[in-house]
Chains A and B, each alone.
Chain A
Amino acid sequence: MAGSGGDGIVSAGESLIAAAAMEGYHAMMTKSFGSQIRGGESSCRVRVSAQPVLNPNGTLHVAVAFNWEDFKKFGAELPVGPQTVVIYESSTGVAPDKLPLEGIKPAVVFSVPIEELAKKTAETDKAKNIVVLGLLAGWFGVGRQTMVAGIHKKFAKKGPKIVEGNERAFNAGVEYAETHPLKEGRKLAAPVGGGGTKLLTDGNDICAAAAIFAGCTFFGGYPITPSSEIMQFLDREIWKYGGTVLQAEDEIAGVGAALGASFAGKKSMTATSGPGMSLKTEILGLASISELPLVCVNVQRGGPSTGVPTKSEQSDLFQAAFSAHGDCLRPVLAPINVGDTFGITVEAFNIAEHYQTPVIVLSDQEISQRKETVVPIDTSAFQLVERRRPTEAELVDYSRFRFTESGISPVSHPGMPGGNYLASGIEHNEDGSPTAGGEMHAKMNEKRFRKFAPLKNRRDLFLLEGDADAPIGMVSWGSVAGVAMEALRLAQAEGLQVKLLVPKLLYPISEVIYQDFFASVKRGLFIEQSHQAQLYRLVQMFTSIPARVQPLAKSGSNPILPVEVLERLRSMVLSIQSNQPNQPAAELE
């Protein structure tokens, strides 16, 4: 759907996806705006399906244009194809066979007097978007059961006249659709297994909710797109749980306060985007050497503060893995969609607490801001980990950084009698006292690395799909993993033998898990949204990748499409059959 700022495009999209969620469908919604902050063109894409939705992009099945000038401004973001049903405002005066679609002839075109219907029923053109919701319900089925009740709730505050007007507008849309039926039925199949109501949220809100669930009681941070909603959600909710939010003067102070709260014994978090990560780097290094738990979310976008702030990218992986000073290992996790962000965030707190370490969660703009249905999560299935605290016996002659077999030492906090110690960025002895001795520094480094040994090979932090012996293997991560998953389904439908590995633990690199995966692989792809193909390079640094597994990598704002991946997979199958080298890697250098 696209139109001008006043058309209520986003509001209609939100109603539609909410209705879909209530009716048990899976759905995803992304929005896009023109350059003007208010009043410019706006658009939203909603993908609804009886099956889980893996990726928001692809050619439109239905396109709604409130006017063509605005619709065209979104170009490739709203691609119309020969199968698309096009619905547009008839008062635009554009003839159905003269649509400005560069030669594309859509399957079905409806020129609908949307504005006229709105004025006739609700006495205002503000109800245009409600008419459109009626049309969509009539032709495609979504919202038929829930929309009228929803309209009553949504407009209740505005009085019965407005409620009734909008209800009439919705019904007028439904009626129009029924009196102008589609030749080929395009109604959505009922959701699989009867569906059941889904939750509906975006990656930032669910990340914040997960933090509260995990027991986080302190957040320190500084606003930056596209991460600010994490702080904003926590500021609405965390106080109710006895927690505190500090909007700090900059990212350094934000992460500093969060580390202070952790030192004081509380679970704490900070969130930012790439430029803020740069500022937090020194304190993250301090967290590593002082062995304090801390969760740091980086919702990725491209470039510095100016950069490409509103588009998704996966180009901060190197920064996450390597920006620390000195020898230092910091676990890096990445969720693959909105629902997954819950579990990954809880896992981040668990790892941080267990290993007494900062953990970086690499989300991305796509996940953070798109709305998505989430299959209800059974929170009772999660185990929450608390840092190992010293026992009474250990507090006698307490030694904070005591060498243990696991490398993990019991940690006290201010207020605990007998646990007094000096936490420190300075290299220290077992009791925390400063040392400049090289031997102790080496031993402490060894301890701080050894403690992570069990983490590396946690297979539950990897997703493996497809044929275990397939000769073609894809690796993908973050939001782009959804694209790879959809490509996998398309390839399997064509009978191609393909498999997919999705690491949610990105660092440290598990040599074993990658080698197991590559064992059967002759050709393959690393699919990621960065110019450098950062995961491909990172894995290469620690283990070998078969020569004919190559990156399919693009800078942000150029979405990778499942069909594009599918084409590469097909060509790999052919090249295996003829034993030819497959396409060269995308230009990297």
Chain B
Amino acid sequence: MKIHTANDYKSDLKPIWCPGCGDYGVLTVLTRALASINRPPHEIAFISGIGCSSRIPGYTTAYGFNTVHGRALPIAQGIKLANPELLVLVASGDGDGFSIGGGHLAHVVRRNIDLTYIVMDNQIYGLTKGQLSPTSRQGLKTVSSNQGSLEEPVNPLLYMLAFGAGYVAQGTPIDMAGLAKIIEDGIRYPGFAFINVQSPCITYGEAESQMKAQKEKVESLEKMGHDPADRLRAMALAQEYGTKLYTGVFYRNPAPPPAHGERVAQRHAAYKASPPVKGDILKLFTPSV
């Protein structure tokens, strides 16, 4: 089998991101993680919604689908269910994922379909030029919150843990090696995996979220001695989203339940030996008193 390098996953399209945008780092790291996994690009489907971050599938050589705002997850689930052999990746921004698409989160988690969901969380709406995001901090002044946001932000890490996700991690482009590791690990996790990436928006994001500020506060969960099998401890650490910047794996289910695809395969196996004939389907409508 051909050994793929990161370059094999990079397309010829030149990203339209602003120079210095965190998403460049995510792209680089992702192609490295994919090289470690070594699946040929045509066996990968990479789905996104819309936002600056959602441009990412086009910058890879995988089959991409840049869908509509907030609906990457449902579309990706259909792809994985239709062809379980594919490696399916999903990318969103914080607005795409936690605002307009927020209603899908609990359900993608409870179905446990084997997808890897990468959210580039910059706490701002980039593509539409700087409006408030659901992960923006209370008090943040933006073009759509001129006197400061009156609302508390959502906590993506805690949400996903509470919904029951089997894999929850956070990374940042300031630690490329660490981010590559969790993306690869998330892809290998047999079930739904969620990775929140603190990927700063250099154009509209506040100074607090930029790489320079991140470097001062980042703390590695691994170095802290966090046991990723400890879900309650993971939730306690996740509570500090917005104040602390923890990177690494918050939670990895040590005994993953069968992913959705396995259950589907079991059900299909029962009929494989003698599948019914399609032309006979109308026989179901033979009348009986």
Name A's B-contacting residues (CB within 8 A): 15, 17-19, 21-22, 143, 146-147, 149-151, 153-154, 197-201, 205-206, 209, 212-213, 215, 217-218, 220, 237, 239-242, 244, 246, 248-250, 252-254, 256-266, 268, 282-283, 285-286, 290, 342, 373-374, 376-377, 379-380, 413-426, 432-434
Contacts and interface: CB of A to CB of B under 8 A. Distances in A.
B78 A258 contact: yes
Contacts of A421: 63-64
B77 interface: yes
Interface string B270-289: 01100110110110111111
A154 B268 CA distance: 31
Nearest to B81: A244
Given A242-B268, A414-B45, 17 more contacts: A18-B289, A22-B289, A154-B288, A201-B284, A220-B74, A241-B275, A242-B272, A250-B103, A256-B77, A260-B79, A260-B81, A265-B83, A373-B287, A414-B44, A419-B63, A420-B61, A424-B65
Nearest to A261: B82
Interface string B18-53: 000000000000000000000011111101001000
B75 interface: yes
Contacts of A419: 42, 63
11 contacts: A17-B287, A212-B278, A237-B281, A246-B78, A257-B75, A263-B75, A264-B45, A264-B86, A283-B71, A414-B42, A414-B83
B107 interface: yes
B225 to A, nearest CB: 38
B154 to A, nearest CB: 18
B268 A246 contact: no
Given A21-B287, A213-B278, A257 B42 contact: no
B40 A417 contact: yes
B149 interface: no
Contacts of B66: 422-426, 434
Enumerate the 4 nearest inter-chain pairs by beta-carbon distance, A residue then B residue, closest first: A150-B289, A260-B78, A256-B74, A257-B78
Interface residues of B, number: 55
B285 A200 contact: yes
B43 A414 contact: yes
A268 B79 CA distance: 11
A421 B80 CA distance: 17
Given A218-B81, A377-B282, A18 B58 contact: no
B68 A264 contact: no
Nearest to A264: B82
A204 to B, nearest CB: 12
Nearest to A434: B58
B67 A22 contact: no
B58 A422 contact: yes
B83 A154 contact: no
Interface of B: 13, 40-45, 47, 50, 55, 57-58, 61-68, 71, 73-83, 85-86, 103-104, 106-107, 264, 267-268, 271-272, 275-276, 278-279, 281-282, 284-289
A342 B285 CA distance: 12
Nearest to A260: B78
A415 B83 contact: yes
Contact of B67 (A240, A266, A286, A342): A286
Nearest to A211: B281
B42 A416 contact: yes
Contacts of B103: 249-250
B58 A380 contact: no
A441 B57 CA distance: 21
A340 to B, nearest CB: 14
A151 B289 CA distance: 7
Given A256-B74, A433-B58, A213 B281 contact: yes
A262 to B, nearest CB: 8
Contact of B282 (A21, A199, A265): A199
Contacts of B57: 422
Contacts of A206: 285
Nearest to A424: B66
A249 B107 contact: yes
Contacts of A253: 71, 73-74, 77, 104, 107
A415 B288 contact: no
Contacts of B106: 249
B85 A415 contact: yes
A321 B90 CA distance: 32
A297 B260 CA distance: 27
B81 A422 contact: no
A474 B71 CA distance: 44
Contacts of B271: 239-242
Contact of A379 (B42, B65, B282, B287): B282
Nearest to A250: B103
A265 B287 contact: no
A380 B284 CA distance: 17
B278 to A, nearest CB: 5
B83 A259 contact: no
Contacts of B272: 242
Contacts of A376: 282
Contacts of A19: 287, 289
Contacts of B287: 17-19, 21-22, 197-200, 373
A433 B11 CA distance: 10
B79 A263 contact: yes
